[in-house]
Amino acid sequence: MRTTFVKREDFPAEWLVVDAAGMTLGRLSSRIAYVLMGKGKPGFSRQTDLGDHVVVINAEKVHLTGSKSETKTYFRFSGYPGGAKFTSFKELIQKDPEQVLMHAVKGMLPHNRLGRKMVKKLHVYKGPSHPHTAQNPRVWIPGKVS
């Protein structure tokens, strides 16, 4: 028996565009992470980056279920004593809605060099337009088999 190793050339990367308007943050980000890792490809292997590029538009229109929009906070630390910063979901979605989706998807990817490579294929935009029309992205509706 011979072990076959999949190459990136065997599965070229596609460009997918997702409209996040009215979608739940966690469900959307888990499906985006699935595509970025390439888990839907027949030659999937954990050590190879076979994922597609994902362009997300209307990031400011994503929502959370229940009362999480009032209670969810994001934490960051400067490294200095007393340098803990807490930002609520409502503040961050107003100030920088792209960061909300990037943070959610990044947490679902592997935390290593390969994960850092995968997150570079995620492109998030606040409004309905994006600069990736030259790549001819196809519209992708998460949850629907295409």
What is the model's pLDDT at position 145? Answer: 56
What is the model's pLDDT at position 4? Answer: 82
What is the model's pLDDT at position 7? Answer: 86
Q: Round to whole Å and give the CA distance between 109 and 63.
A: 21
What is the model's pLDDT at position 146? Answer: 52
Number of alpha carbons in the 13 Å side-chain half-sphere of residue 121? 24
Return the number of other C-beta atoms located less than 10 Å from residue 86's C-beta: 9
* Intervals of the chain under pLDDT 70: 144-146
pTM equals 0.92
Domain residue limits, the chain: 13-64+96-139
Compute CA distances 146 → 30, 88, 118, 140, whole Å: 17, 36, 22, 8
Thinking of the domain 13-64+96-139, which architecture would CATH place it in?
Answer: Alpha-Beta Complex (3.90)
What is the model's pLDDT at position 1? Answer: 83
Answer positive or negative: Cα dihedral of 33, 30, 68, 112.
Answer: negative
The pLDDT tens digits of the residues spanning 2-23 come to: 988 888 888 899 999 999 999 9
